[in-house]
Amino acid sequence: MRRLLSREMIFLFCLVFCFGCAGTLSGASRGRYAFPSSEPEWIRNGDPIIFEGQSWYPQDDVDVFLDSEVYLLGEYQGVQFFASKIDVRPYDKLYTKFNENRYRSYQQKYND
């Protein structure tokens, strides 16, 4: 009886361990889009992204999105940039990913 109980405990422990690791091994928690270890200097300097002939300037705003909530538009100077899936053309904001689920926003500057 005692030996049977210990085998069941070992089996249960292995089962819990395997299912607990399954999410991290599959990459589900890492997201679809990679992000740099630090933002490039051109972003930190406030240089714009040029998209469809328009300049988009980095803002201090940070938005939180899941990768499934943004749409990849392209790449500028080695950095992927996105639009929100709920936004339509002409876009209000563009985004670059700088951390897990953290996106820096970009907007056009208009002269009044």
Q: What is the DSSP string of 16-83?
A: HHHHHHHHHHTTTTT-SS---SS--HHHHTTPPEEETTEEEEEEEEEEE--GGGEEEEEEETTEEEEE
The answer to whether the pTM exceeds 0.75 is: no
Domain co-membership, 22 together with 48: no
The verdict on 47 and 87 lying in the same domain is: yes
pLDDT score, position 23: 43
Pair (25, 65) in one structural domain: no
Domain of residue 5, residue span:
1-30
35: in domain: no
Let me know whether 52 and 83 are in one domain: yes
Residue-wise pLDDT tens for the chain (112 aa)?
555 556 776 665 544 454 554 444 333 346 799 998 899 999 999 999 999 999 999 999 899 999 999 999 999 999 999 999 999 999 999 999 999 999 999 999 876 5
Determine, yes or no, domain membership for 77: yes
